[in-house]
Amino acid sequence: MSRKYFGTDGVRGKVGEAPITPDFVMRLGYAAGKVLVATEHEALHGERPCVLIGKDTRVSGYMLESALEAGFTAAGVDVRLTGPIPTPGIAYLTRALRLQAGVVISASHNPYDDNGIKFFSATGSKLPDATELAIEAALDEPMQTVASRGLGKVKRLDDAAGRYIEFCKSTFPTDMDLRGLRVVVDCANGAGYHIAPPVFHELGADVIAIGNEPDGFNINEASGATHPETLAKAVKKHRADIGIALDGDGDRLIMVDGNGQIADGDRLLYAIARHRHETGQLQGGVVGTLMTNLGTETALRALGCDFRRANVGDRYVLEMLNEHGWQLGGETSGHILCLDRHSTGDGIVSALQVLAALRRSGRKLADIIRDCPVFPQVLINVRVAKGFKLNGQAEIAGAVEAVEDELGDSGRVVLRASGTEPLIRVMVEGRDEAQVNRCAERIAEAVRTAAGV
């Protein structure tokens, strides 16, 4: 059964347009609540289920939070509110507080006028497919508010930020600190603005915080993991040792070394994997995605590390890690999963794993990632009409086949639809930059022609 509303990362879209409207989000909360009541009834011994709701700093978060509250409480589910907190913080707190589900109101790295709803299970992981499908089925049923005696209640969890800060610090080795390290932390004017700087400061670092003044509209604006050039400039300006950039909901990580060189998720994944391999802590291999740079795969295999590629999306990386019983995986965009530290990708926790590797080895980030080459890789995003399908497009298929024949064994082509936006992503990778650019544009033009844009 295909999903109607859930994408690879929950339900997401433009605020005010279906499905991100107050009435739909209320029904979504109600449908999710009814599924929880039905599935958790026996385990709760007659008590009401309880969910945790957090959000990032978008102005629309207030409206959507209220709509979710109404839907959940109408279904007989209690609600706890955290206010702005990173997505992985909700995953952690849901598990720590033994709640039945966690909900995050966020569109991650997207502009402020987008928003979305993402769910976590009681274990702090993404909802299983079966649960998402059950919620979608419940959305087609009419709302029927429970009797007044059974309505859910809403309370604020006042110490949510402090609890999550302590959790993040607990993932850093207890015999180590960050004293003597000057760090620039770019919070993307997002959910980590009041979380990330204290974490690094309390571990001893001299912290310079930027992107930490959210106003509801400036989330991800020329800042954070999607604009690492801002961090690179700040690192040079403040003569910092290293820079850390999160995205709007705090689950992505991009870092900058003391020279202003940007390290994306691929190279950070390599840095963590190399340290764990050298110290005997790497359990199994490493999982990347179809978009992971070929240079990263080459560098990991040179270490003797097994490497596998999952479909794009951290949920698919997680699925493959669980399938193999491995712990470390990630995406070029900066989603990094360290399953021995957290149940989901966490930008702050991942940064601490990189810093632990640097501290333990005595090396600088530039020294470690030097052995992880970056092969020329071009990504072109072609905006298409909503609902455009790649399947059956003969002109596109012909362009891809021609490029693959030209590249042979020295390159790769990945063509896929975005799971969160109406985009077709065209990625071409190889050893010759001019050839890669030419091939990527050839496929992108075929997509534009087929899509009529």
Catalogue the active-site residues.
Answer: 108
Determine the longest span between alpha carbons in the chain, in angstroms.
Answer: 69
d(CA 313, CA 290) in angstroms, rounded, equals 10
Which structure tokens are listed for 183? 């760090």
Contacts of 7 (CB under 8 A, 6+ apart): 419, 420
**Is the distance from CB of 245 to CB of 260 less than 8 angstroms?**
no
Give one DSSP letter per residue of 33-49, joined into a string: HHHHHHHHTTTTTTPPP
Q: What is the DSSP string of 228-261?
A: HHHHHHHHHHTT-SEEEEE-TTS--EEEEETT--
332 near 264, Cβ under 8 Å?
A: yes
Q: Is 111 exposed, middle or buried (0-12, 13-18, 19+ CB in 10 A)?
A: middle
Tokens of 321: 């890690």
Give the position of tokens 């009409």: 385
Do residues 282 and 259 make contact, with C-beta atoms less than 8 angstroms apart? no
